């Protein structure tokens, strides 16, 4: 498929666009690539649930990577910014173990017109957030009891109760530059020493790519940002 070959990725992107995936990367990729083994043990057993993906989900390879990272880290608590349909939430719970607590934050539809950062009518993010429900993939599963669904705008949500308690923070909310910057600041508030922050859609959405590139270029605390090979996942160990 070419996802592991940098020369073929532009072709893969064009094919994705033909099938309706909103990928128009114009910002250069600056974060160095590393293999999955750099952050997750090679022989870690995993459980993959909800294999089928829809637009807005992580790819199958990213799905596997997140499961490997979670199973290898054995986190006590995970915070996810951006629930969407709950596919990643479900797999965080399945691979973290029965004692892992998952907190997942999503913007309710009724607040779409009143976000902290204005959203234009033509904004491509809208199709992912103008939905009636969140987290349907984990509803009525054995893992639901580990998951706490939170609602609110990530830019002005009160994170105090979760501060410095998270082993993993997954930033996958709005793709707009201002939100990625804001959500990254929230992730730093949430993560405990030795934890791992992950971002999705680097190289896919320009707002995400611009924000992460800027952190890498201008902030010494982010010089160790790395991208998982063949994916749009970026991570930073804290």
- Which pLDDT tens digit goes with each residue over 212-228? 999 999 999 999 999 99
Q: Are 149 and 175 in contact (CB under 8 A)?
A: no
Q: Are 67 and 58 in contact (CB under 8 A)?
A: no
On whether residue 203 sits in a domain, the answer given is: yes
What pLDDT does 199 receive? 98
On whether residue 144 sits in a domain, the answer given is: yes
On whether residue 1 sits in a domain, the answer given is: no
- Can you read off the two tokens belonging to residue 177? 């530059």
On whether residue 43 sits in a domain, the answer given is: yes
Q: Which range of residues forms the domain containing residue 86?
A: 6-237
| Core vs surface per residue 24-35: b (16+ CB within 10 A) or e | ebebebebeeee
- Give the count of domains, the chain: 1
pLDDT in tens, 118-168: 765 556 666 676 677 899 999 999 999 999 999 999 999 999 999 999 999
On whether residue 88 sits in a domain, the answer given is: yes
For the chain, list residues with pLDDT below 70: 1-25, 119-127, 129-130
CATH number at residue 24: 3.40.50.150
What pLDDT does 112 receive? 76
What pLDDT does 124 receive? 65
On whether residue 123 sits in a domain, the answer given is: yes
- Can you read off the two tokens belonging to residue 200? 């999705």
């Amino acid at each position: 498929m070419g996802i592991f070959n940098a020369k073929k990725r532009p072709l893969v992107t064009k094919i994705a666009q033909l099938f309706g995936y909103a990928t128009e990367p114009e910002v250069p990729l600056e974060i160095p690539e590393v293999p999955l083994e750099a952050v997750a043990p090679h022989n870690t057993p995993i459980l993959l649930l909800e294999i089928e993906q829809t637009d807005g989900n992580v790819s199958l390879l990213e799905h596997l990577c997140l499961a490997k990272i979670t199973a290898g880290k054995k986190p006590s608590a995970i915070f996810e910014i951006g629930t969407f349909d709950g596919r990643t939430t479900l797999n965080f719970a399945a691979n973290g173990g029965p004692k892992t607590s998952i907190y997942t934050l999503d913007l309710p539809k009724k607040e779409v017109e009143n976000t902290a950062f204005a959203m234009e009518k033509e904004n491509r993010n809208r199709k992912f957030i103008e939905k009636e429900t969140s987290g349907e993939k984990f509803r009525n599963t054995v893992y639901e009891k580990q998951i706490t669904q939170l609602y609110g705008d990530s830019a002005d949500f009160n994170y105090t109760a979760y501060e410095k308690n998270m082993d993993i923070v997954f930033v996958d909310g709005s793709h707009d530059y201002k939100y990625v910057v804001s959500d990254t600041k929230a992730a730093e508030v949430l993560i405990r020493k030795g934890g791992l922050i992950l971002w999705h859609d680097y190289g896919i959405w320009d707002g995400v790519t611009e924000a992460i590139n800027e952190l890498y270029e201008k902030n010494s605390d982010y010089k160790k940002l790395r991208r998982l090979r063949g994916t749009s996942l970026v991570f930073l160990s804290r």
